[in-house]
Amino acid sequence: MAVVANPSAEAWRWKNVKRKTDKDDALKLAKLAALEQVSAVHVPVAERRQYRLGVKYRKTLVNRITRVQNHIRALFDHQGISIPGLPQALKP
């Protein structure tokens, strides 16, 4: 079983260390796991992660649409054409 370790846990903190490498991290993580001192973090179920990805992607698309609409509005403004509202064809 895989465990996602909480790097903010007190046992994981590095104090007075001159060198910090991936190798050192792996060794410390292995020691903490052997002593059962690794505190895990919550990982949402796959369905929840997929839902969040969908919400994030939707936000990206909405931002792209807004950017294009603003670009079109700027082109009209640059040509001296005033549009009080966005044309219906450009609304999502």
pLDDT for 52-80, tens place per residue? 999 999 999 999 999 998 898 889 889 98
**Domain segments of the chain: what residues?**
1-43, 46-90
List CB contacts of 73: < 8 A, sequence separation 6 or more. Answer: 83, 86
Query: What is the reported pTM?
Result: 0.56
Nearest CA among 7, 64, 66 for reference residue 38: 7
Percent of the chain with pLDDT strictly greater than 70: 85
